[in-house]
Structure 1
């Protein structure tokens, strides 16, 4: 084979590989997430008069089947008529969804994470004017062999009160895509396994008897919010940590 033809074939393979990388990167991004939704959200402690805080998550995300990486946008909004005062937003992962980073936010130490969660970040929102909002880019991984949930509490800056909490709300799919570069997941949907006879995708959803009920998890966090968000702390490795 001539060196010219060899170079042409090599160039084609490099181009093809680059295209695959571009496809995987795009499908795991937060670009095509559909409308935002406050599904699974509930007011907890009374907010100051004229303040109405809510959050929203995308209706859909895409998880790269090869790496499990995904991205989403978390938004907090003041839908009231006066400014919010100093607040913070927490972004917390549960089960198969692990939050790896939130732009502009600080990681919550392991010992301070909400009970049952695997990861979390705290975002110092500051004061939101009436009608204004602030969005955060979230990087995460999703284990498609498990259920995965996310939770967005909105608190006072010191965490003493929780005005609003979205979740823990699941992302999942009833239509797995084992042969595609990525699997689309919908907000508020429990995962389902691939149909029998097809290429096997890891079972996306534990049996009901093994799964943590969403209502129980949500109630636990809401109860913690009503009590001043006194998270159950895990044992620390050394005195003074946290």
Structure 2
């Protein structure tokens, strides 16, 4: 094999290694709320026979570090064998999490908010068929200097009974990332606010997620460089033998 051809192959290995690192890094940074979770949920008042109402919250959300804006998908689900009839889904915020809007829903009067909450919306559902679910896009803000909780309730249309209550369940992180564009928060985790001098905290989120991939890429680059050095050395070694 000629020296020129060997050098070209080694150079291609380096390029491929670098491309792999870039592709994998981009994949790791995708924004995904993950599957819905009923964590922190419990039945309260007895539902009609054959009706089993529950709720789902995303396993993770992302809060913009500048605007403190985030979005949450709130889902009501009928896991029973009969239709629910008229019900309402309440979406309520606590502490550092404030509900700003819920698509197709109306704000709850302050006097009717659950004790300790700061905001909420009520979403009318004419009927939820057996085995079906209905989701609502919720706009919220999260003060990362505080803890924050959200609560979903499935209630009768007149509000006299609560069939299901999820929460107040916290969103949070034990490793804040003040220098990143956004902070990822996990459901069921108490938020650890950024402490004084937080600018010196290690970065989390994207930087941490791609670290293993970056390490693997560095190993590939090292291997490619070693191949380039070996290909340049071989002709001279052959001439000496």
TM-score, structure 2 normalization: 0.68
Structure 1 residue 196: Cα displacement:
8.5
In the alignment, which residue of structure 2 is the partner of 1:53? 53
Structure 1 residue 35: Cα displacement:
1.0
Structure 2: distance between partners of 1:143 and 1:197? 17
The runs of 5 or more residues in structure 1 that have no matched partner are 1-26, 202-242
The runs of 5 or more residues in structure 2 that have no matched partner are 1-28, 202-241
From the superposition, tell whether residues 156 and 136 of structure 1 become closer, same or farther in structure 2 (CA, over 3 Å): same
SS of structure 1 residue aligned to 2:145: coil
In the alignment, which residue of structure 2 is the partner of 1:184? 184
In the alignment, which residue of structure 2 is the partner of 1:94? 94
> What is the aligned length?
173
Structure 2: distance between partners of 1:93 and 1:38? 17
From the superposition, tell whether residues 125 and 200 of structure 1 become closer, same or farther in structure 2 (CA, over 3 Å): farther
Structure 1 residue 192: Cα displacement:
2.0
In the alignment, which residue of structure 2 is the partner of 1:72? 72
Q: Select the structure that is richer in helix.
A: 2
The answer as to 2:92 corresponding to 1:119 is no
From the superposition, tell whether residues 163 and 141 of structure 1 become closer, same or farther in structure 2 (CA, over 3 Å): same
In the alignment, which residue of structure 2 is the partner of 1:158? 158
In the alignment, which residue of structure 2 is the partner of 1:212? none
Is residue 194–residue 200 contact of structure 1 (8 Å, CA) maintained in 2? no
In the alignment, which residue of structure 2 is the partner of 1:145? 145
In the alignment, which residue of structure 1 is the partner of 2:41? 41
- Residues 192-228 of structure 1, C-alpha deviation per residue, up to 9 Å, x if partnerless? 2458875168xxxxxxxxxxxxxxxxxxxxxxxxxxx
Structure 1: distance between partners of 2:168 and 2:137? 18
Structure 2: distance between partners of 1:32 and 1:45? 34
Structure 1 residue 178: Cα displacement:
1.2
From the superposition, tell whether residues 157 and 96 of structure 1 become closer, same or farther in structure 2 (CA, over 3 Å): same
In the alignment, which residue of structure 2 is the partner of 1:82? 82
Flag the structure with more relative contact order, 1 or 2, with Cα contacts below 8 A and sequence separation at least 6: 2
**Hey, which bits of structure 1, 4+ residues long, moved more than 6 A?**
none
- Residues 30-69 of structure 1, C-alpha deviation per residue, up to 9 Å, x if partnerless? x620111000000000111110000000000000000100
Structure 1: distance between partners of 2:114 and 2:195? 35
In the alignment, which residue of structure 1 is the partner of 2:169? 169
TM-score, structure 1 normalization: 0.68
Structure 2: distance between partners of 1:103 and 1:172? 24
Structure 2: distance between partners of 1:36 and 1:173? 18
- Residues 125-180 of structure 1, C-alpha deviation per residue, up to 9 Å, x if partnerless? 11101000000000000000100000001001111110000000000001211111
Is residue 84–residue 129 contact of structure 2 (8 Å, CA) maintained in 1? yes
